[in-house]
Chain A
Amino acid sequence: MIRFILSKLLYLVPTFIGITIIAFGFVRILPGDPVLLMAGERGISPERHAELSAQLGFDRPIWVQYFDFLGRLFQGDLGNSLVTKKPVMDEFLTLFPATVELGLVAILLATIIGVPVGVLAAIKRGSWFDQVSMTAALVGFSMPIFWWGLLLIIFFSGILGWTPVSGRISLMYFFPDVTGFMLIDSLLSGQKGAFTSALSHLILPSIVLATIPLAVIARQTRSAMLEVMGEDYVRTARAKGMPQSRVVGVHALRNAMIPVITTIGLQIGVLMAGAILTESIFSWPGIGKWMIDSISRRDYPVVQSGLLLIAGLVMLVNLLVDLTYGLINPRIRHK
Chain B
Amino acid sequence: MTQPVATPPVARLSDAAIRRQMLTEFWFYFRQNRGAVVGMWVFLVLVLLAVFAQVIAPHDPTQQYRDALLVPPFWQEGGRASFLLGTDAVGRDMLSRLIYGAQYSLFIGIVVVAIALIGGIFVGLLAGFFGGWVDTVIMRVMDVILAFPSLLLALVLVAVLGPGLTNAMIAIAIVYQPHFARLTRAAVMGEKEREYVTAARVAGAGKLRLMFKTILPNCLAPLIVQATLSFSSAVLDSAALGFLGMGAQPPASEWGTMLAEAREFILRAWWVVTLPGLAILISVLAINLMGDGLRDALDPKLKRS
Contacts and interface: CB of A to CB of B under 8 A. Distances in A.
A296 interface: yes
A209 B42 CA distance: 28
Contacts of B263: 150
B25 interface: no
B141 interface: yes
B147 A314 contact: yes
Interface in A127-164: 135, 138-139, 141-144, 146-148, 150-151, 153-154, 158
Interface in B132-187: 140-141, 143-144, 147-153, 155-157, 159-160
Interface of A, helix, strand, loop or mixed by DSSP: helix
Contacts of B285: 138-139, 142
A307 B152 contact: yes
Interface residues of A, number: 45
A15 interface: yes
A141 B155 contact: no
A167 B153 CA distance: 26
Interface string A21-48: 1100011011000000000000000000
B155 A292 contact: yes
Given A18-B143, A19-B144, A154-B266, A310 B149 contact: yes
B248 interface: no
Contacts of B157: 26
Given A18-B140, A18-B144, A153-B266, A270 B273 contact: no
Nearest to B285: A142
Interface in B68-103: none
Contact of A276 (B155, B159, B292): B155
B284 interface: yes
A144 B280 contact: yes
B113 interface: no
Contact of A139 (B149, B280, B281, B305): B281
Nearest to B146: A269
Given A30-B160, A303-B159, A15 B140 contact: yes
Interface stretch (B195-203, B214-222, B232-240): B232-240
Contact of B149 (A154, A270, A280): A270
A143 B288 CA distance: 11
A182 interface: no
A315 interface: yes
Contact of B148 (A142, A144, A158, A310): A310
Contacts of A292: 155, 244
B149 A272 contact: yes
B259 interface: yes
A310 to B, nearest CB: 6
Contacts of B150: 269, 273
B112 interface: no
Interface in B192-251: 232, 236, 239-240, 243-246
Contacts, number: 122
A179 B284 CA distance: 40
Nearest to A270: B149
B63 interface: no
Contacts of B246: 295
A214 interface: no
A144 B156 contact: no
Interface in B249-286: 256, 259, 263, 266-267, 270, 273-274, 276-277, 280-281, 284-285
A310 B149 CA distance: 8
A277 B284 CA distance: 18
The residue among B148, B150, B274, B285 with the most chain A CB atoms within 10 A of its own CB is B148
A144 B277 contact: yes
A124 B187 CA distance: 34
Contacts of B35: 135, 138
A295 B159 contact: yes
B284 A144 contact: yes
A146 B18 CA distance: 47
A29 B161 CA distance: 10
B294 to A, nearest CB: 14
B151 to A, nearest CB: 4
Contact of A29 (B160, B270, B274): B160
Interface in A297-335: 298, 303, 307, 310-311, 314-315, 318
Interface string A243-274: 00000000000000000000000000110110
A220 to B, nearest CB: 14
B289 interface: yes
B149 A147 contact: no
A314 B266 contact: no
Contacts of B245: 296
Nearest to A18: B144
Nearest to B260: A146
B144 A146 contact: no
A151 B277 contact: yes
A307 B148 CA distance: 8
12 contacts: A15-B143, A19-B144, A138-B288, A138-B292, A143-B281, A146-B240, A150-B259, A273-B150, A277-B244, A291-B155, A303-B156, A303-B159
